[in-house]
Amino acid sequence: MSIYAEGTLKERVKKEIQDTHARLAVAKATEKLQNGRLNAAMEMGNWEEWRERGSAIRSHTIAHLDYYLEQFTSNVEKQGGNVYFAKDAEEALAYALNISKSVNGKHAVKSKSMVTEEIKLNEALNEIGVETVETDLGEYILQLAGEHPSHLLGPAVHKTKEQVAELFSKEGGKEIPPDLQELVGFARSAIREKFLQADIGITGCNFAIAEEGAVSLLTNEGNARMVTTLPDTHIVFMGMERIVPTWEDFEVVINLLPRAGTGQKISSGVSILKPVQPHENDGPKQMHVIILDNGRSKQLGDPDFQEILNCIRCGACINVCPVYRHVGGHSYGSVYNGPIGAVLTPLLNEDSKQASELSYASSLCGACHEACPVRIPLHDMLVKLRHRNVENGDVPALEKLAFNMYGKTFSSPALYNSATKAGLLMQKPFTKDGHFKESTPFMKGWTNSREFPEVQKSFRERWKESLAHQEGQHE
């Protein structure tokens, strides 16, 4: 389950928007990332052609996913690595725990991986006595805070440096000032010790390259290189869709991902990892790749949702989403948040009511689609998910009644005419000085923080007036 939600979406949003620090931090960070993407796209000049190419590569790969996964597996195994297909979180965890026990693992270091968040790996490893430490700075902060990531790329984007200093001071047992260099310095020395102790290194996988039997990691902190070179055992967790066929395809996606996500031309570190060969002295002695399904394969062949598997997890849709920017990542109550989370979470957690309501966390403005480097029509998918909720009867009775009446009224000109006339009169007790009062029932969600103007004339009256005005101008 990729959700950790408690309560309803509305309840979580209500709580999260009280945190003014987090809201400011999120707004600032997403603004910067968004501008970075726009500049990077402008610099390339032919960004739309790159998007087209990216979309074509991803669609082709997903349409032939079985073939490329087999090719990848066979190439990894030829080089002495192990590949395991896990149908769900339970199988993935069981396999990872078995490896840990077989190597008598006591200390694991991890680089950032959303798939491991999805299956709650840290908790499972801790339970069998393997101390598991996050080495990505943002993830390390969240591990100390006992929180979940609030953004795909910047997991701790909601934290201020003062809050981080408080956490580090508590962890270090001494006062650490809210100064960036001091904070990074503290994290570096604390994590360095863990690297030296670790017997297991755990990573995600940005893209597997089928023809090479290799996995790639795009990082900005260099921690993934320590995770994948110092411990004797390397375990890779990979969503089953995170694969490209060839090096040429890889070149396209690693151009798109950092540019769309952060505006960087390329991530600071691009690691290509394969099983270490007997004649090579350094590096892990074993490499295991766990390929996770966990609901992904159900989208294959579904004309409405297969394209969600094209996602390259760049986070661009999150940065432009007006809802995310307002309510922050934790409101979604899911490992995946923002527009990608609002689509992916219900698809991966079909039976969860908490997941299904995420499709309403969108204004359907389409900004996510515009920003997506592989052109996934997220806004269309959100509408289809809402449709699915209605078909499942998963809507409040009052809403159902309202839409029924709305449908009937709009399909009968006479009814429409009388309803608009009645509406103009019925609004009167709730309006003052040309606006709806804050206390208007059913409208408080809007009127609490914004004005809603009184409707002065019906649409037909305005239409007639507008026609008369145009005719007057032509005379």
> Which residues here bind ligand SF4, judged by CB under 6 A?
311-317, 340, 371-374, 376, 378
Q: Least CB distance from residue 247 to ligand SF4, whole Å? A: 21
Nearer to ligand SF4, 137 or 340 (CB): 340
Judge contact between 139 and 155, C-beta under 8 A.
Answer: yes
Neighbours of 245 (CB within 10 A): 18
Minimum CB distance to ligand SF4 smaller for 155 or for 231: 155
What's the CA gap between 469 and 273, in Å, rounded? 70
Shortest separation between residue 121's beta carbon and ligand SF4, angstroms? 21
Cβ proximity to ligand SF4: between 54 and 81 the closer is 54
* Radius of gyration, CA atoms only, the chain: 26
Minimum distance between the CB of residue 374 and ligand SF4, rounded to whole angstroms? 5
> Could you tell me if 241 and 247 are in contact, meaning their C-beta atoms sit under 8 angstroms apart?
no
How many angstroms separate the CA atoms of 398 and 382, rounded?
22
Output the smallest distance, CB 337 to ligand SF4, in A.
11
C-beta of 37 vs 194, nearer to ligand SF4: 37
The whole-angstrom separation of Cα 176 and Cα 174 is: 6
Cross-strand bridge partners of residue 82? 288
Q: Which is nearer to ligand SF4, 17 or 114 (CB)?
A: 114
Q: Using the structure block, give the residue that is written with the tokens 């089928």.
A: 210
Task: Please state the closest distance from residue 3 (CB atom) to ligand SF4, in A.
Answer: 18
- Which of 250, 257, 187 lies closest to 223, judged by CA? 187
**Residue among 261 and 283 whose Cβ is closer to ligand SF4:** 261
Write the CB contacts of 313 (distance below 8 Å, at least 6 apart in sequence): 114, 152, 206, 242, 257, 340
Q: How many CB atoms lie within 10 A of CB 156?
A: 25
Report, in Å, the least distance between residue 367 CB and ligand SF4.
10
